Every structure is written in C-alpha cells, then in structure tokens.
A and B are shown apart, each in its own frame.
Chain A
Amino acid sequence: MANFGNSNGEVLETDVLIIGGGISGSLAAIKAREAGVERVALVSKGKLGKDSISTFAAGVWIAFFPEDDKDSLYRNFALSDVHGGGLYDDEWLTVFLEDNYKRLKELDQWGVEWEKTPDGKFRRKECRWALKQAMFHGPQLMEAVSKKVGDSEVKIVGHTMITNLLTEGGRSGNRVIGAVGFDVRTGKERVFRAKATVAAAGGCGYKARFACHKMDTGDGVAMAYRAGAKLGRFDEGKIHTTAAKFDTHGLNMFVGLGGKFLNAEGDRFMFDYDPELKDLAGMTTLAEASAMEVRAGRGPIYLDMTQFTPNNVKEMRTVLPHVSVILERSGILIGDKIVNKIEWAPAYYGTIGMSGGIMANTKCETSLPGLYACGDAMARAKPTAALPMAAVTGARAGKFAAEYAKKEMRLVDMNEQQVKEWRHFATAPSEKPYGIHPDHIIIGVHEALLPYGVTIIAREDRLQKALTEVERIRDEEIPQLFASDPHYLRISNEARNMVLSAEMYLKSRLFRKESRDSSLREDYPYTDNVNWLKTIVLMNEQDKMQLNAEDLPLERYKVVPKREKYIYPVFEIATRRGVKWG
C-alpha cells in the first residue's frame, strides 16, 4: 500500500490531492500514480464511482479515430455556429482531437465494455452535430474506472465534501497547499495537506431539471474562486433539454434512433431551425428553437419516438438501462414499443458539459501554483464533447500535478488562522438554533435563473432582475442558512456554492453584448466577431467579483472566424416563422 503519514488522524498528508471522483478525478488519480507519485488521495462527496455524473453517463462517447480527418474536424468545430462560433481554444481543441482516442483505448484496456463489431472493432454511429459516437454500457463505465483507481493504490476518502482550499500563508492568490472539508454523514472535519491539488469536483447543474446531476453544485469553482484563482467562460453556459414531467437523459440515443421533435401544431419545426441536421441539431439550437416556438404560442414541444422498431427499443435497453426504466414508469415505453410522445422542454445545464470553470492551460495548470483543474471544474471552450473531454483533461491534470509534486520536496505548513476561518465558513449553518432551510434557497435560485427569458433568450432587463434577486439571496438568505445535521450542512454548502455560480453566470451574460451559441440576447441579436472574439474571465478581488474580457490569442490560431457581424441564425428563422422578439 502507498504510505500515508497520518491517515487515522484529522489531518491527512499526501503528495497529490484529487478533489472529485468522477471520470476526470479518477483518471487524474490513476495518472498521478502512473507518473510515479507514491501518495495520491482522492476525495469524493459520496462513494467513489457512484457519486458523479459520469456514473450516469448515457453510453455515448463522441469519438475521433486515428483515420479521421483531423483538419476537417478542427475546422468544423472552430467555425460552426452551434459550436460556439469561434470562441474556441485552439490548443485544447488540438489536444482533444489527439487524446480522445488514447483515452477510449485505455478505458477499453481497463475493462470498460464498448459496443463492438463482430470482428472486435469499436462500433461508431452518427449522432447529433453529425459527429460519430462510440457506445459503452452506461453504468459499467465508472465501475471499471473506479476499480482501476482502487488497483492503483490510491487513498480514497469517500462521503466527504471539500469546501475550501488552503493557500500558503493563508493568503488569497498564493500557492495551494491543501484543502478542508467535512464528512457529510458525521460532520467530522477533514484537513488535507498536499504538494499539488487537482480540482475535479464537477460543474454546477443547480439541482435543476435534468437527470442525475444534482450532486454537481459548482463546489470546485467556488473553492477556487475563494482561493483567488482566475475563472472564466461562464457566459458560455449550456442548455440541455429533457422531459417536462420527469428527468431523463439519452437524447443522443433518442434522436440517433430517429426520434423527432414536434410543436403543439404537430409541425416538425427543427426542419426550419436547422435545415441540415434537423432533429439531430445541437441541443442549444433545439432549446432556442423550442423557446421561440413557445413564444409564438406554439408550445408545448414534444419528442416523438412512437415509430421506433422493436430493434430500436432493444438497442436502447442495452445502452440505456436506467433510462428505459424511467420511460416505462412514465407510461412512454411498454414492452418493445414506445406508446406515447413525450412533452419536452429545455433544461439549463449550468456549467456541466462545456462551460465556465477554473481557467487552465493544456497542462491543466491554473493561475494558482499547485492547483490543477480538470473535467467540468475547468473552463472548457465549446468545441469538445463533455465526457471524453473530462477524461482527456483528467488524465493530463493527474500527470502534470504529479510532475509538480515530484519537484516539491516538502509540504508547506498550513496557516492555522485560515483553517479556523474556513472551518467557521463551512459550519456556520449548523452553529445557530434556527434559520432558512437550504431547499428555500435552491428553489429561489431556480425561480430567478430558469425562466427561458433569462437563460435561453435573454435581455438586459431580465438578466439584471435575476442578478438582483441572486444577490439578495446571497446577502440576506445565505447568512441565515440553517443545517439541522451534517446532511443539511452539505446541502447548505451546496446551495451557497450554487448561488455563487449563478452570480458568475448572470454577470458574465450581462457582460457579453452579442448573441452566440447558448448566449442569446434579443437586445443584441448579432454574433459579433469584430468585437467579441473574447473570453470573459473573473476573479475575486477584495471580496468583489471583477470581470474582464480577454482577446482570444487569434495570432496563433489555425482557423480564425471572419471578423464580421451577422444576425444569429435562430433570430432570423424565428422572424420567418412569425415569432416576435426584440
């Protein structure tokens, strides 16, 4: 076994500390051990392998194989509207196209079960955005990956929520030297000292509508913000879609098998909004088009899969067993037949997938020495795919954090004052006799953030109103949070992190005065490649959130979008379809 200095006490010492146990954190841990670091500890909020969105990954891996034309993929990603229309990161895109297949092959070697052809090759099929997906057997992915973590002699600390990072001298902006948190069942404090720390604690899904992401509350982003790290890309948030009455994923599979979208008049509106890809259009286009149809009085929107053949259903049951049960109990699926269409509606997906997070270079180094970021905790430009990107970034974060840890001979002493301060910060909700239930704050954030006029087709006045409400919750309600036990202490800390993520999102959306994939502003309906080929970054400076727009380093880009302004296509199509906006 790897040797731990003080694993029975309250302080655990390690060389590399990984915060988060999804696919990115798990790969970081495995790769850090492979790089020859003796002590690697991984902290997960629940049981490793069962507590992340990777656990519920829908069986789809957007895959690039060595024989694919990388140049054409690069151009397609870099320039297309549905991929962010130019706000891409050329270095990460290059790395992603290279590493995607390496990670897939490696997962195969670790025992992940992929759909294969009779001669043993990975089977790929067309999916949304006209890309190709490889398919694995959903829940088995993280079973194989977490087994590999265990086999790699990584110290696993489960059921523990990390709330804050420790910094050298206790000062914001300094080197990260560990982290503090608590056991979510006993409330017992846990302190970690580390030479290098990897933030892999996922994105923020706001516990909102969508399947199986309600443990992702922006914890990694919040701890990095409070430690003084540079963050960004929150305006590039993502919009998913799911059933109106229940949470399900699996849309890649549904439309891959021929699922079609209808408005209330039975019109296949996606034929207008994306004439090329139609129902296979990107989910942002689908969400925006659905919102436009609803505004025109043609809602609700339906997903119709009633034409599926028994073979289609069989394939769905193999790849998505969870989803099939959900469809059965919702009266959609009976035996080998889909019997009803599903009411379908956009679901704001926060920073999960491809969106805001901690800014990091392709070594996953952040602005703070000793802190590495990966997966949804890292700021990711759009032209990637969430799951393989989490694997690609996780592997790199582990490798480069290990290199850093190997160069550092000793652990830096903790600042006792900072440990005390963060302890009080985390436990404040349990130190009062009564107060506000975290559910109240969670629903308050939903009511401010989730109307489609804020997240999907935004306008200055509505964004400002939502921000005012989020700031009110932050100032008036967060200090009154009450946790009756360690479980509610966890939910309280999660709710507080959600409020912080909401503030980052709304301020970033207000900052960007143009329309671009998933950041539509009906007061600025143009995609503006003259003035807005910029990344919006933010930092905590003297307890104030400071935002800034940084030019993309276009001089090094292989492909640069034309420096022009053009109306965002959804607005133009909506006008043709008689939708009023402005």
Chain B
Amino acid sequence: MGIRKIAYDLCSGCGTCVEYCPLDVIRMNEETGKPFIMYLSDCMACFLCEVECPEEAIYVSPDRERRAVLPW
C-alpha cells in the first residue's frame, strides 16, 4: 500500500526521498534528522523514493493506497 517502510538503521538522513517525492508524501523530522511518511494517502506507489534512495532503506508496495474505483 504505497510506501511501507523506511529502515532507520540504513537511512543516512540525506533527504533525497523528501526532495524527490512527486506528491510530497515524505517529510523530514528535524529532531531525529530522519524522514518519515506523513501523507500516505497521497502516495501513488511510483517507487521513485525506493529507486533513488542511496542506502536502499525504503520499501514500497505496489498495492494502491487510495481506494480505486474500477470501471466495472
């Protein structure tokens, strides 16, 4: 269901995912210096954060986050 996990033991806090997310789903926690998932319902499972993460710390599921209306 969209972005599912940021592995904090791997994450370096570089902020690439925060900068790249086309729908601004991820934000930086200024206190911990690590990103967190803030607007999950807007995630479109594009995988950009996972693909671009230099530490391979992010896991995305292809299942849709917002309820999908099918044509039938």
Whether the Cβ atoms of B47 and A325 lie closer than 8 Å is yes
B contact residues vs A (CB 8 Å cutoff): 19-24, 38-39, 41-42, 44-48, 50-51, 60-64, 66-72
Complex Cα distance A329/B45, Å? Answer: 12
Does A451 belong to the interface (CB within 8 Å)?
yes
- Chain A residues with Cβ below 8 Å from B67 are 443
- Chain B residues with Cβ below 8 Å from A291 are 71-72
Extra 20 A-B pairs, beta carbons < 8 Å, given A46-B20, A247-B45: A46-B22, A50-B48, A51-B22, A184-B24, A207-B66, A208-B69, A212-B44, A215-B23, A244-B70, A247-B62, A247-B64, A325-B47, A325-B50, A326-B62, A329-B60, A345-B72, A439-B66, A446-B68, A447-B69, A456-B71
List, sorted by A's number, 17 A–B pairs whose CB atoms are closer than 8 Å: A46-B23, A47-B19, A50-B19, A50-B20, A50-B48, A55-B22, A184-B24, A207-B44, A209-B69, A211-B44, A214-B23, A245-B63, A246-B63, A294-B72, A326-B45, A455-B71, A456-B71
Contacts A345-B70, A346-B71, A442-B66 hold; do A322 and B21 have CB atoms under 8 A apart?
Answer: no
A437 CB, min distance to chain B CBs, angstroms? 9
Whether the Cβ atoms of A330 and B62 lie closer than 8 Å is yes
- Chain B residues with Cβ below 8 Å from A299 are 72
Does A487 belong to the interface (CB within 8 Å)?
yes
Is the contact region of chain B dominated by helix, strand, or loop, or is it mixed? loop
Whether the Cβ atoms of A50 and B64 lie closer than 8 Å is no
Complex Cα distance A210/B72, Å? Answer: 15
Q: Of residues 33 to 69 in A, which have CB atoms within 8 Å of B's CB atoms?
A: 45-47, 50-52, 55-56
Complex Cα distance A338/B41, Å? Answer: 30
Does A321 belong to the interface (CB within 8 Å)?
yes
Complex Cα distance A246/B66, Å? Answer: 11
Residue in B closest to A50 when the chains form the complex, CB atoms: B20
A161 CB, min distance to chain B CBs, angstroms? 10
Contacts A51-B22, A299-B72, A346-B71 hold; do A326 and B47 have CB atoms under 8 A apart?
Answer: yes
Complex Cα distance A213/B66, Å? Answer: 14
- Chain B residues with Cβ below 8 Å from A46 are 20-24
Residue in B closest to A51 when the chains form the complex, CB atoms: B22
Residue in B closest to A246 when the chains form the complex, CB atoms: B62
Complex Cα distance A447/B70, Å? Answer: 9
Does A31 belong to the interface (CB within 8 Å)?
no
Does A482 belong to the interface (CB within 8 Å)?
no
CB-contact partner of B44 in A47, A247, A452, A455, under 8 A: A247
- Chain A residues with Cβ below 8 Å from B60 are 329
Q: Of residues 456 to 493 in A, which have CB atoms within 8 Å of B's CB atoms?
A: 456, 487, 490-491
B56 CB, min distance to chain A CBs, angstroms? 12
Does A348 belong to the interface (CB within 8 Å)?
yes
Whether the Cβ atoms of B64 and A47 lie closer than 8 Å is no
B13 CB, min distance to chain A CBs, angstroms? 18
The 9 closest A-B pairs by CB, nearest first: A452-B71, A446-B69, A214-B44, A246-B62, A51-B22, A212-B46, A326-B62, A50-B20, A450-B69
Complex Cα distance A487/B61, Å? Answer: 23
Residue in B closest to A244 when the chains form the complex, CB atoms: B70
Does A185 belong to the interface (CB within 8 Å)?
yes
Complex Cα distance A455/B72, Å? Answer: 11
Contacts A139-B51, A345-B72 hold; do A246 and B46 have CB atoms under 8 A apart?
Answer: no
- Chain B residues with Cβ below 8 Å from A52 are 22
Complex Cα distance A348/B68, Å? Answer: 12
- Chain B residues with Cβ below 8 Å from A456 are 71
Whether the Cβ atoms of B44 and A329 lie closer than 8 Å is no
Complex Cα distance A200/B22, Å? Answer: 16
